[in-house]
Amino acid sequence: MLLAEGQGAARWRGVGNGVYTGEACATEAQAERAGEQKARRQVSAETPEDAQHRALASQRQPIDLTQHVLGAGARGVSGFSGPDQPSDDSLQRCVRCGYCLPACPTYLETYSEASSPRGRIRMIQAVADGALSLTDPSFVAQMYQCLDCRACEAVCPSGVRYGQLVETARTQIERARSRPAGERALRSAVFSGLFADQRRLRLAGRALRWYQRSGARRLAHGSGALDALGLRATEALAPSLPDQFYAPSGEVYAAPPDAPQRGRVAFFAGCVMSAAFAATERATIRVLNANGFTVVAPAGQECCGALTIHAGEMDRARTLATRNIAACEASGADYVVSNAAGCGSALKEYGELFAEFPAWRERASAFAARVRDISELLGEALAHGELNTRFEPLPLTVTYQEPCHLAHAQRISAQPRALLAAIPGLKVVEMAEASLCCGSAGVYNITHPQMAGALGRRKAGHIVATQAQAVVTANPGCALHLRAQLDQMGSALPVLHLVDLLDAAYRGRMPI
Ligand code: SF4
Ligand code: SF4
């Protein structure tokens, strides 16, 4: 049941006040783990099954991939060290059953064992055992070819926490390898510059908006400059930015006095949502208000850190997390509500992010326990007969695309569909492979355009085949990637957020 106002906030107070310093704590478990790793078996060479998958792959003209054969011998840096290591428990849990293979988008596109969850887990194990170098190019390629969509994690009967494995493996890689100076500068500009400070991000957003509206874009297209710089595909992914961004600065949006008062929530705006989907942000506040929640928009909140974690920059993510925790604690809210699947997933895992950092561990876990995706919060209200159902009919047919970090990482799948079903007149038609990754995956569609494009076309094809009038999703990355893929197919089908539909139904306005 939902908490009464202030009830949760009281439980937030009084937990640790430590300052995050970035220092790791050595644990007995780590020492034990080192011993266990030495004793573990050596990884064998390619199995007949691998060969079979490779044969299948050649029939399907696989995307440009580095095929990897385990047991090639260690070179350079080997093994994992320090904090943020792949969980030995998860590695041990993998029984190689292969249940995860049909759920894995990269496996479905390549039929290569190396591009499957099981294959990647074997490689991580090989690095842990010292049988494969941490900086081996094929290991690095596979860790980054993975979309971190976590579809494998959701179907694994052994409870392997694959997201933790790949995210820590990337972190270990980034600490061990030295990138060329240009790449280092770019990563620093993105992760220590843009995503480290919302003000800088909004400034960059304003520059992009100027580019889109001033005629500079037409010039760049007409002159061939985009092609010369190899930026045409990346530019196509850029959102069309609104006149105004949503910048949370401590506002309080009170629930209407005649609504049943259901508590106080802190709205986590998210960096991409607040810049590219400001209208959806405002719709989120209206929908929460309509359901009796007083909404606080805490000042000082930053990017959730999801993109940073996926890029193997765990320390930078922890810095962002400490600011978000402090900002939301100060709001006195019962829940922290997110409308972006990727943000919600990252926020819910702050406890694990600080698992080896006692100064913030308790505080981060308390914060994480309060995080709810908006469809989770409203879905719970619906299940308890507490949802405001004063909807106007929306005579529309839509299809629902499941964001990976909602369906797989947060296991929220039924609630968005139940909320859509509660809107009178709205018909939902299921697409094929609704929960297969669309290829967006943070910045994956920029770093891996071939695979992202293949998955995006696959998804767009499924969407168009439903003959729906709009596609609904709940994550900014998915929305932008789907928009670009549908455009490429010549489809103008609107891409909406679940909240856009709920808000439209409350206000009696058609969303398209
Ligand atoms: S389903 Fe789980 S246990 Fe089976 S191969 Fe995949 S990760 Fe390993
Ligand atoms: S996270 Fe996604 S892409 Fe990566 S191995 Fe698992 S299912 Fe495959």
Quote the pLDDT of residue 19: 39
- The one-character DSSP state at 191 is I
User: Closest by alpha carbon to 57, among 13, 105, 103, 110?
Assistant: 110
Ligand 2 contacts CB of residue 146 (under 6 A): yes
Where residue 73 falls (left for φ over 0; alpha for ψ -120 to 50; beta otherwise) is left
Contacts of 371 (CB under 8 A, 6+ apart): 268, 335, 336, 337, 338, 344, 347, 348
Contacts of 175 (CB under 8 A, 6+ apart): 82
Contacts of 58 (CB under 8 A, 6+ apart): none
Distance spanning both ends of the chain, measured CA to CA: 34
CA torsion sign for 198, 202, 207, 211 is positive
CA distance 369 to 376: 13
Instruction: List the structure tokens of 395.
Output: 């005579």
Task: Look at 230 and 484; give whichever has higher pLDDT.
Answer: 484
Which residue's CA lies nearest to atom 3 of ligand 1?
94
For 400, the enclosing helix (H) or strand (E) is strand 396-400
**221 with 272, same domain?**
no
Give the domain CATH number at 432.
Answer: 3.40.50.11810
The answer to whether 405 and 307 are in contact (CB under 8 A) is no
Share above pLDDT 70 across residues of the chain, in percent, rounded to a whole number: 85
For tokens 């409203």, name the residue. 378
Instruction: List the structure tokens of 128.
Output: 């842990």
In ligand 1, the atom with minimum distance to the C-alpha of 96 is 5
**447 with 412, same domain?**
yes
Last residue of a domain, one of 123, 149, 176: 176
Banded model confidence at residue 1, pLDDT cuts 50, 70, 90:
very low
Task: Look at 189 and 250; give whichever has higher pLDDT.
Answer: 250
Which residue's CA lies nearest to atom 6 of ligand 1?
100
Q: Is residue 34 part of a domain?
A: no
Query: Which residue type is seen at 454?
Result: A
Which residue's CA lies nearest to atom 2 of ligand 2?
149
Question: Given the DSSP bridges, would you call strands 470-473 and 396-400 parallel, antiparallel or unpaired?
Answer: parallel
Q: Is residue 197 part of a domain?
A: yes
The answer to whether 298 and 337 are in contact (CB under 8 A) is no
The answer to whether 468 and 430 are in contact (CB under 8 A) is no
**274 with 224, same domain?**
no
CA distance 451 to 362: 39
Flag whether pLDDT at 82 surpasses 90.
yes
Q: Is residue 87 part of a domain?
A: yes
Banded model confidence at residue 30, pLDDT cuts 50, 70, 90:
very low
Q: Is residue 32 part of a domain?
A: no
The answer to whether 291 and 427 are in contact (CB under 8 A) is no
Three-state DSSP class for residue 266? strand
**18 with 98, same domain?**
no
**279 with 371, same domain?**
yes
**115 with 214, same domain?**
no
Condensed to tens digits (0 to 9), the pLDDT of residues 293-307 reads 999 999 999 999 999
CA distance 134 to 77: 6
Task: Look at 13 and 77; give whichever has higher pLDDT.
Answer: 77
Q: How far is the CA of 442 from the centre of ligand 1 (A)?
A: 24
- What does the mean pLDDT of the chain come to? 86
**259 with 298, same domain?**
yes
The answer to whether 196 and 228 are in contact (CB under 8 A) is no
User: Closest by alpha carbon to 496, among 459, 470, 477, 478?
Assistant: 470
Ligand 2 contacts CB of residue 152 (under 6 A): yes
Last residue of a domain, one of 219, 237, 255: 237
Work out the average pLDDT over 431-450. Answer: 94
Range from 50-54, 276-280, 484-488 carrying the lowest mean pLDDT: 50-54
Q: How far is the CA of 155 from the centre of ligand 1 (A)?
A: 8
Quote the pLDDT of residue 429: 98
Which residue's CA lies nearest to atom 5 of ligand 1?
96
Q: How far is the CA of 274 from the centre of ligand 2 (A)?
A: 28
Quote the pLDDT of residue 212: 83
Flag whether pLDDT at 58 surpasses 70.
no
Range from 35-39, 307-311, 365-369 carrying the lowest mean pLDDT: 35-39
Question: Partners of 133 in the beta sheet?
Answer: 78
Quote the pLDDT of residue 322: 98
Q: Is residue 182 part of a domain?
A: no
Quote the pLDDT of residue 207: 86
Range from 49-53, 108-112, 283-287, 486-490 carrying the lowest mean pLDDT: 49-53
Condensed to tens digits (0 to 9), the pLDDT of residues 99-147 reads 999 999 999 999 999 999 999 999 999 999 999 999 999 999 999 999 9
Among 93, 94, 165, which is best to mutate for testing ligand 1, by the most ligand atoms less than 8 A from CB? 94
Task: Look at 477 and 37; give whichever has higher pLDDT.
Answer: 477
Three-state DSSP class for residue 275? helix
Quote the pLDDT of residue 78: 63
With a Cβ cut-off of 6 Å, ligand 1 is lined by 94-100, 117-118, 121, 152, 156, 158, 160
CA distance 10 to 257: 23
**156 with 216, same domain?**
no
Condensed to tens digits (0 to 9), the pLDDT of residues 257-298 reads 999 999 999 999 999 999 999 999 999 999 999 999 999 999
Q: What domain range includes position 226?
A: 189-237
Quote the pLDDT of residue 15: 30
Condensed to tens digits (0 to 9), the pLDDT of residues 152-192 reads 999 999 999 999 999 999 999 999 998 888 888 888 888 88
**297 with 405, same domain?**
no
In ligand 2, the atom with minimum distance to the C-alpha of 148 is 1
Quote the pLDDT of residue 54: 43
Range from 37-41, 255-259, 442-446 carrying the lowest mean pLDDT: 37-41
Flag whether pLDDT at 64 surpasses 70.
no
Work out the average pLDDT over 312-336. Answer: 96
Banded model confidence at residue 77, pLDDT cuts 50, 70, 90:
low
Banded model confidence at residue 476, pLDDT cuts 50, 70, 90:
very high
DSSP string, 434-502: TTS--S-TTTHHHH-HHHHHHHHHHHHHHHHHTT-SEEEES-HHHHHHHHHHHHHTT----EEEHHHHH
Flag whether pLDDT at 71 surpasses 60.
no
Flag whether pLDDT at 486 surpasses 90.
yes
Give the domain CATH number at 130.
Answer: 1.10.1060
Instruction: List the structure tokens of 335.
Output: 């829940």
Considering its fold, how many domains does the chain have in total? 4
In ligand 1, the atom with minimum distance to the C-alpha of 99 is 1
Q: How far is the CA of 144 from the centre of ligand 1 (A)?
A: 19
398 C-beta neighbours (distance < 10 Å), count: 24
Q: How far is the CA of 52 from the centre of ligand 1 (A)?
A: 19
Which residue's CA lies nearest to atom 5 of ligand 2?
117
**108 with 206, same domain?**
no
Q: Is residue 500 part of a domain?
A: yes
Last residue of a domain, one of 337, 358, 379: 379
Quote the pLDDT of residue 239: 77
Range from 9-18, 139-148, 224-233 carrying the lowest mean pLDDT: 9-18
**57 with 76, same domain?**
yes
Quote the pLDDT of residue 39: 35
Quote the pLDDT of residue 29: 36
Which residue's CA lies nearest to atom 4 of ligand 1?
97
Q: Is residue 441 part of a domain?
A: yes
The answer to whether 167 and 312 are in contact (CB under 8 A) is yes
**418 with 364, same domain?**
no
Task: Look at 130 and 225; give whichever has higher pLDDT.
Answer: 130
Give 14: exposed, middle or buried? Use CB within 10 Å, 0-12, 13-18, 19+. exposed
CA gyration radius for the chain?
23
Among 113, 147, 160, 345, which is best to mutate for testing ligand 2, by the most ligand atoms less than 8 A from CB? 147
Among 124, 146, 152, which is best to mutate for testing ligand 1, by the most ligand atoms less than 8 A from CB? 152
User: Phi and psi of 175, rounded to 5°?
Assistant: -75, -25
Which residue's CA lies nearest to atom 7 of ligand 1?
94
CA distance 131 to 138: 13
Question: Given the DSSP bridges, would you call strands 252-253 and 495-497 parallel, antiparallel or unpaired?
Answer: unpaired
Q: Is residue 98 part of a domain?
A: yes
Ligand 2 contacts CB of residue 148 (under 6 A): yes
Banded model confidence at residue 326, pLDDT cuts 50, 70, 90:
very high
CA distance 184 to 174: 10
Work out the average pLDDT over 366-395. Answer: 98
Which residue's CA lies nearest to atom 8 of ligand 1?
94
